[in-house]
Structure 1
Amino acid sequence: MQIHNLSKENSVLNQFIAEIRDVSVQTDSMRFRRNIERIGEVLGYEISKTLDFETKTITTPLATIEATVPKNDVVLCSILRAGVPLHNGLLNYFDQSENAFISAYRHHKDNPESFEIVVEYLACPDLTGKTLILADPMLATGQSLVATFKALEPFGTPKSIHIAAVIGAEAGVDFLENNLPKDTTLWIAALDKTLNSKGYIVPGLGDAGDLAFGEKLQH
């Protein structure tokens, strides 16, 4: 798997990451969502450099000109609910893309420190020969992304697979490398070293879904 860790270079992305981590800023859920969206825009811009392009003739009010533009074969797939702001950021840049949504969540049984990934809702177009971008803000254990990929397999084989994540843990990256196709590309804004006993990223930022949309009741 090819990994692009954008935090290795200084950019305005660092400010967005700092704010979503900061407990004094996290109280503003609207700003949290907007920062995740802006990070999605940065990731989308970087991903766009690797896509297939084609030349089109554009007519201006004064003349015609040849323009090189991306081919429209992108499918954005986000994991509900935390992935919605990230999806919106990517969609701002890939506004002509097709879209897929899936619910994949941690189901805790008797032990709060163990869980299984449950996939319930899925809406997806045909993926055959297309560019698939899987968006999930928190790449912790990597199990949700792998479960999502397996759930998408009946919809066809994409020509390329990109993962867009905000913050990840090294253990999650290792899990993806062992369980996704070798030509998958990961685009991540920041990479942390540790997972705690509950499978949360440390230092991370907490629960992205709760910070974006409010605390949820477990079932």
Structure 2
Amino acid sequence: MRVHVADHPLVTHKLTVLRDRGTPSPTFRALAEELVTLLAYEATRGVRTDTVRIETPVGPTEGLALSSPAPIVVPILRAGLGMLEGMVKLVPTAEVGFLGMVRNEETLEPSVYAERLPADLSARQCFVLDPMLATGGSLIAAIEYLFDRGARDVTAVCLIAAPEGLAAVERATEGRDVTIVLGALDERLNEKGYIVPGLGDAGDRLYGTVANL
């Protein structure tokens, strides 16, 4: 598993505002979109391309174009939706799939309750969007789901992560082609499973609900 933690002043600045408990939901949504676009530059560094011949106004040349089939972007509902526009703004030709995941309160295991994805992902580069990599359960389940559909490489884009969750993903995906792109790697999880210092519940802050932390 490859891990890339973005090291850029603009990323750090936007994360600082996102972390502030006084940042209102509209500002939070706008900054999350901007931050994902910055992270998407790193996430798509290995995107597949083909060499193409074109004509400029003054002569022929060669360039690169995204390979076919197009990459597929998969936000994990619901919080991943807040990251979608930032990603497709950078890769407008990408297709979009959806994974809805919920945790069983008895087993604490995540399960898929809704999905809109191609049946065969064997030729697709998959980009998963999940703002918080906390325990890693949802992201692991999503990655496994995509590999079960035939995906060969998966890149996950997360705003922040906890070391415990990152380690869990690494253990679960050993031997597979997985990349994690992060805005920041935080200190730890607290007893409730929230990332510290974190930014609270990303879904609640995106959509204006108040979480009991």
With the length of structure 1 as denominator, give the TM-score of the two structures.
0.87
Q: 1:130 aligns with which of 100, 124, 139?
A: 124
Matched, 1:189 2:187: no
Deviation at 1:53, TM superposition (A): 2.2
Residue 52 of structure 2: aligned partner: 56
Cross-structure match for 2:4:
4
Give, in whole Å, the separation in 2 of the partners of 1:174 and 1:86.
23
Number of aligned residue pairs: give it. 208
Aligned twin of 2:155: 162
Unaligned runs of 5+ in 1: none
Partner amino acid, structure 2, of 1:144? S
* Farther off after superposition, 167-176 or 10-19: 10-19
User: CA shift at 1:205, angstroms?
Assistant: 0.5
Corresponding residue of 1:209: 203
Separation of aligned partners in 2, 1:47 and 1:61? 32
Spell out the pairing of 1:22-171 with structure 2 (5 A cutoff): 22-25=20-23, 28-72=24-68, 73-109=70-106, 115-125=108-118, 126-156=120-150, 158-171=151-164
Q: Find the aligned partners of 1:95 and 1:181 in 2 and give their Cα distance.
A: 31
CA deviations over 1:128-174 (Å, ceiling 9, x no partner): 12111111000000000111223334422x23211111010000000
Separation of aligned partners in 2, 1:47 and 1:79:
17
Report deviation, 1:31. Answer: 1.2
Specify the code of the residue in structure 2 equivalent to 1:159: R
The Cα of 1:42 is off from its aligned counterpart by: 1.0
Stretches of structure 2 lacking an aligned partner (at least 5 in a row): none
Q: In the aligned structure 2, how far is the partner of 1:211 from the partner of 1:190? A: 18
CA-atom RMSD, angstroms?
A: 2.0
TM-score by length of 2: 0.89
